Amino acid sequence: MKHQKRNWLDIPSDVMENILNRIGIIDILENAQKVCTVWRKICKSPVLWRVINMNDILQLTSNISTIKLICKQAMDRSQGQLVDITLIHDYNAELFLYAAERSRQLRRLEITSCIVYGGLTTEAMMKFPLLEELNLYSVEISKEEIETVGRYCPMLKTLKVNGKVPLCSLDFPADEASNEIAIAIGQNLVGLRHLQLIGNKMTNFGLQVILDNCCHLEKLDLLACLYIDITGVLGKKCFEQIKHLKLPHDSLDGCLDYFKIVRETYYDDEDVPYVDTDFLLVDYVYISE
């Protein structure tokens, strides 16, 4: 029997949208939309641009101007239907504000390994009323910004605020400011189900505030929170209240969402690199699978 040739142009547009939605941003931009006018029209459908991950765009180019342009075009093509965006490196500030103006249906926001000048900005966070997941990696967040998230993002269920991780005991003690973020989370984000605070400097007091107020917490990640002592009454409360608990001194090897980059930029007189064992930091940079 002769095989009947398939005419891809005869495939209904909704089916073609479903197919193209699985191939990723790069193939859409570099291949699919260049096939014909019909496919180009389909590639502009908002359905294909509801999820934007800058990790995908970086596989296409390393030019900052091009990356910004592509990301903005992708947001424009979503026509307000964007629900999930991952921003990385130093392109965040401009693109974050751009997304805030055009993405009121956003459910998931991830900002990774970079500087957001001026922080998350309370004005921008006020524009994500449907946000359910906020992931921050090596990005500062203030008490005021957490208060804004608590007020204007009532559906938030997952919060990750992860920074640099100390691999050895620290010589300097924690102070009152160390608990500021933990207290703000406990007082303003009482509906959280999943909280990850890898490398946070909070003490037992900050953790107590979280446990007392976030009664719906099911997953709590305290990896590398070295100022916490999970013993006695506090430890018992953690185990009784939290279904999935990661303790400060648990292994970091299970963090599959991270890529470890050890800073070994110190040199001796002979220009031979060595590791400063007194204070070694590891940056954890998110890698999208």
The model's pLDDT over 89-147, given as tens digits with 9 standing for 90+, comes to: 665 678 888 899 888 999 999 988 655 555 567 788 899 999 999 998 878 888 999 99
Range(s) of the domain holding residue 209: 49-256
Distances (CA, A) of 117 to 72, 91, 92, 196, 286: 19, 10, 8, 23, 20
Nearest to 223 by CA among 166, 275, 273: 166
Which residues make beta-bridge pairs with 282?
A: 165, 262
With tokens 């010589």, the residue in question is 171
The answer to whether position 276 is within a domain reads no
The model's pLDDT over 153-200, given as tens digits with 9 standing for 90+, comes to: 999 999 999 876 655 555 456 656 689 999 999 999 999 999 999 888
Residues 209 and 222 reside in one and the same domain: yes
Residues 38 and 56 reside in one and the same domain: no
The answer to whether position 2 is within a domain reads no
Contact 133/107 with Cβ under 8 angstroms? Answer: yes
The pLDDT, as a whole number, for residue 21 is 73
For 266, the 3-state DSSP assignment is strand
Residues 214 and 74 reside in one and the same domain: yes
Residues 214 and 87 reside in one and the same domain: yes
The answer to whether position 287 is within a domain reads no
Residues 149 and 34 reside in one and the same domain: no
The answer to whether position 38 is within a domain reads yes
* Domains held by the chain: number: 2
The answer to whether position 106 is within a domain reads yes
For 159, the 3-state DSSP assignment is strand
**CATH code where residue 66 lies:** 3.80.10.10
Residues 141 and 31 reside in one and the same domain: no
Give, to the nearest 10 degrees, the angle between helix 232-241 and helix 204-213.
30
CB under 8 A, 24+ apart: contacts of 229-232:
229/204
The answer to whether position 252 is within a domain reads yes
Residues 112 and 190 reside in one and the same domain: yes
Contact 263/257 with Cβ under 8 angstroms? Answer: no
User: Rounded to two decimals, what is the model's pTM?
Assistant: 0.79
